[in-house]
Amino acid sequence: MSKTSVLILRAAGINCDEETAHAFRLAGADRVDPIHINAFIQGRRRLSEYDVLVLSGGFSYGDDLSGGKVLANEMQSKLMEDVETFIGDGKLILGICNGFQVLVKMGLLPRTEPGGRRQEATVFYNDSGKFECRWVYLRRNPDSPCVFTRDMPETIYIPVANGEGKVMLASEEVRTRLGPGGHIALQYINPPWAGAGVAAREITAVPAGMAAEGTAGADDGEATGETPYPWSPNGSVDAIAGICDATGRIFGLMPHPERYTHPTHHPRWTREGCREPDGLHIFRNAVNHVRGAQ
Amino acid sequence: MAAESKTRRIAVVNRKDVVDAVGEGLRGDILDLGIAGIEGVRHVRLYALHGALSATELDRITTGLLTDPVTQEHLEIADGGLPVAPGEWGVEVWFRPGVTDAVGETALKGSRDLGVAGIESVDTGRGYILAGPLIRSQVDTICRRLLANDVIERYACYEGGQ
């Protein structure tokens, strides 16, 4: 069987690198290295040694200027040639939370045109003005080319933890390109139990083209095209939680899949029983893809 | 000709169609102080860039680092302060000399990552534009009790149209 090597790129302020490395080891990766970005900038290590590049969660450079911005600029100015080669070789890139912010601000997501570098979106402060840290329900887009979410359950449950998680798009024109390309891989949805009878007017609002379970036809039946707070924790356009590029090999999401890799991570496992952790599935998909591609 | 070393003050603010969650939260906090006249608050990020910067380099820092291209806009402000309309108050909060400015250090690193060698240091501050029929004593109360920490920060407030 082919070996799978994963790089967890570290930088000042990144703090989810060890959990993410643990998730990839659980998923069966043969080699997982959390390594500081300076090793690559100084030429002591090379991205080409790896099959998967991961930008994990945290607060790179304190998110001092805005989430992920400084690390995005650093990668653009010092590593972009290597990153483009990495992408061109058909390898995988995953950005989680702060890593997602970095990928978006580098212009690698949604990257509706292959090779494009224009920043087409941003990840901005939550509408609530607060740090939102809790479990959320997501709907997987079955029409997305995303490698990481392939064959996952239609409804996914994992935690978010961010103050800047609101995905906004540069223009309406970008928005029209996201849907047909399957770029929107994950959307926040209402919980399955928040159906008819629970604040029907607000709760019935679901992402465009996606009917939440148990909510169809409730009360006025008018979907606004948005999932309301708190089910969408940040007010993202079209309730976007995760985006991939046109190839499906670059993927970023605001929620933290590495925080649901054991059945006992689930907040209700003692009452609802153990099940396959949704987060682990994302890492397994990456490992399996690499093995299949080699 | 080489650029002259000087200080350029930049204000970054959300575009008008973008939710200003910080400003909205502060409006509620000001109401909690018992100041009912407050009608709106806009939050502004302030940067003082010190160094010999060409117009191109200044643009590279402001558009490539300090301002989100999707949600924010920026302007260079003169010593007169923030652009405050009649009926509004401008407030600027800056660190006192000698206080570590960690965000400024990050902005300096980010500027150099963009290849701007002439940047020497960056100071950061916060600005607020308060709307509503407020009098100076009320604005002082807002500054002292909410917007500025007098131990490490100094503030200045001014009325629009004056």
Distance from CA of B13 to the nearest CA of A (A): 13
Q: How many CB pairs under 8 A join A and B?
A: 65
Over range B27-34, report the average pLDDT. 96
Q: Let me know: does A25 contact A32? Beta carbons within 8 Å.
A: yes
Length of chain A, in residues? 294
CATH number of B5-159: 1.20.1440.230, 3.40.50.720, 3.90.1510.10, 3.30.1280.10? 3.30.1280.10
Residue of A nearest to B104 (CA): A64
d(CA B105, CA B103): 5
- Chain B (52-71) residues lying within 8 Å, Cβ to Cβ, of chain A: 64-66, 68-71
Per-residue model confidence (pLDDT) at position A210: 38
Residue of B nearest to A107 (CA): B69
Touching check for B17 and chain A: CB below 8 Å?
no
Q: How confident is the model at residue A195 (pLDDT cuts 50, 70, 90)?
A: low
Chain B positions touching A62 (Cβ under 8 A) are 102-103, 106
Instruction: Tell me the average pLDDT of chain A.
Output: 88
For B83-114, write each residue's pLDDT tens digit: 899 999 999 999 999 999 999 999 999 999 99
Task: Give the DSSP H or E segment for A282.
Answer: helix A278-293
Cis status, amide bond into A110, omega within 30 of 0: yes
Catalytic residue among A19, A258, A281, A289: A258
Residue of B nearest to A127 (CA): B21
Neighbours of B54 (CB within 10 A): 13
Per-residue model confidence (pLDDT) at position A100: 98
- Tokens 């002591």 found at: A44
Chain A positions touching B18 (Cβ under 8 A) are 124, 168
Distance from CA of A61 to the nearest CA of B (A): 7
Pairing state between β A92-96 and A52-55 = parallel
Over range B36-44, report the average pLDDT. 95
**A258 catalytically annotated:** yes
For A34-80, write each residue's pLDDT tens digit: 999 999 999 999 999 999 999 999 999 999 999 999 999 999 999 99
A294-to-A90, A117, A175 alpha-carbon distances in Å: 11, 28, 34
**B109 or B80, higher pLDDT:** B109
Per-residue model confidence (pLDDT) at position A216: 33
Q: Which amino acid is at A182?
A: G
Over range B134-157, report the average pLDDT. 96
Find the range with the poorest average confidence among A188-197, B67-76, B143-152: A188-197
Q: Which letter does DSSP use for residue A212 in this model?
A: P
- Tokens 């200080």 found at: B7
Find the helix packing angle between A17-26 and A278-293, rounded to 10°.
70
Find the range with the poorest average confidence among A102-106, A155-159, A189-193, B56-60: A189-193
Per-residue model confidence (pLDDT) at position B10: 97
Q: In this structure, what token pair is assigned to residue B160?
A: 């629009």
Per-residue model confidence (pLDDT) at position A205: 35
Q: List the domain boundaries for chain B.
A: 5-159
**Is there a contact between A124 and B68 if contact means CB atoms under 8 Å apart?**
yes
**Is there a contact between B70 and A121 if contact means CB atoms under 8 Å apart?**
yes
Percent of chain B whose predicted confidence (pLDDT) is above 90: 92
Per-residue model confidence (pLDDT) at position B80: 72
Find the helix packing angle between A69-78 and A98-106, rounded to 10°.
50
Domains of chain A: 5-189+227-293 (3.40.50.880)
Task: Give the DSSP H or E segment for A75.
Answer: helix A69-78
Instruction: Tell me the average pLDDT of chain B.
Output: 94
**Is there a contact between A65 and B106 if contact means CB atoms under 8 Å apart?**
yes
Distinct helix (H) and strand (E) counts, chain B: 4, 6
Over range A170-181, report the average pLDDT. 92
Touching check for B24 and chain A: CB below 8 Å?
yes
Per-residue model confidence (pLDDT) at position B79: 72
Per-residue model confidence (pLDDT) at position A159: 98
Residue A199 confidence (pLDDT) above 90: no
Residue A213 confidence (pLDDT) above 80: no
Per-residue model confidence (pLDDT) at position A71: 98
**A274 or A105, higher pLDDT:** A105
Gyration radius (Cα) of chain A, Å: 18
Nearest to A70 among B19, B71, B110 (CB): B110
Over range A6-26, report the average pLDDT. 97
Touching check for B100 and chain A: CB below 8 Å?
no
Find the range with the poorest average confidence among A93-107, A148-162, A181-195, A255-269: A181-195
Per-residue model confidence (pLDDT) at position B3: 75
Over range A135-156, report the average pLDDT. 96
Residue B16 confidence (pLDDT) above 70: yes
Per-residue model confidence (pLDDT) at position A103: 98
d(CA A59, CA A72): 12
Nearest to B72 by CA among B47, B49, B44: B44
Q: Read off the pTM.
A: 0.90
Per-residue model confidence (pLDDT) at position B2: 66
Q: Let me know: does A150 contact A140? Beta carbons within 8 Å.
A: no
What torsion, rounded to 10 degrees, do the Cα atoms A65, A69, A74, A75 define? 170
Q: How confident is the model at residue A127 (pLDDT cuts 50, 70, 90)?
A: very high
Please report the beta strands in chain A, taking only residues with DSSP state E, as ranges in sequence order. Answer: 5-10, 31-36, 52-55, 92-96, 121-124, 132-140, 155-162, 166-169, 184-188, 240-244, 250-253
